[in-house]
Amino acid sequence: MSDSHYRTRRFDIGTVISKTLSVVGRNLPLLSLLALILGAAPNVWFTWAQSHAITEIGGKKAFGDPSQIAMWGVAFLVVVFGSFLLQGALARVVASDLNGEKPDLGLALSAGFRAFAPLLLLGVVSGLAILLATAALIVPGVILSLAWVVAWPALVFERKGVFEALSRSRDLTRGRRWPIFGLSLIYVVCATVVQLLIVGIFGIVGVILGAAASNVGAAAIQIATLAASGLAVAVVTIFNMTGVTLLYHELRDTREGIGANATAEVFA
């Protein structure tokens, strides 16, 4: 059917949520593996390195050994690298799923590496702009965040440049930012609850293990804290990035009537 005959349908955040849950459910093992390797592991290393780089002397925080500070810096770079690589990889997984194909780890990582540099540049440009807007006044920062929320999927799927992707996202979200804001609030609440549950459960386990073996009490608590942090990052990242990708797809579908194959064509 031609575009002129296509009738746009109403944008519904419930559809985005439903599709997100379905895609995650169908691809949970692969998504979990990617999120653990590229998201959770780097964040756990960063948290551990930070605890060693910053010490407490006389009740005051102070930087410790230079080598530990250097490790902290390297860990931060790995977190950044993993985050943008994961964006491209998860986009590939979602595209394959929507196209009725079985997502593949190798293809996902390959897509992540190809999209890494432009995604990094997009993250720097949009991040600085949102930071400056938020510093000036909170509301402009929120508006920019909502307008540019699907910039990175637009960059990956449509092979846009950085500023083209930002403009494309602004056009796709126009007139739909209040529902997207509501969707963001739902995500924040759910993410907070999930993180609190995971941290609470692992915290209790750490305390129990520490009480059972007093000589490893502090170590048990630290390990439990790091494990909880990593798991929380993995869970939140899976739903965040998958959700944003499907939000982009839904915005395009309701405006332009793209088929399931459209988002996969870029990877052909």
Give CA separation, 215 vs 136, 171, 179, 206, 220, in Å.
50, 59, 52, 13, 10
The DSSP code sequence of 219-266 is HHHHHHHHHHHHHHHHHHHHHHHHHHHHHHHHHHHHHH---TTGGGGG
pLDDT band, residue 208 (cuts 50/70/90): confident
Q: Which long-range contacts (CB under 8 A, 24 or more apart) does 163-167 make?
A: 163/125, 165/122, 166/122, 166/125, 166/126
* Each residue's pLDDT tens digit, 71-80: 989 999 999 9
* Each residue's pLDDT tens digit, 101-125: 999 999 999 999 999 999 999 999 9
Q: How many domains does the chain have?
A: 1
Residues 6+ positions from 209 with CB-CB distance below 8 Å: 216, 217, 220, 224
Task: Give the pLDDT of residue 2.
Answer: 43
pLDDT band, residue 267 (cuts 50/70/90): low
Q: Structural domain of residue 199, as residue ranges?
A: 3-267
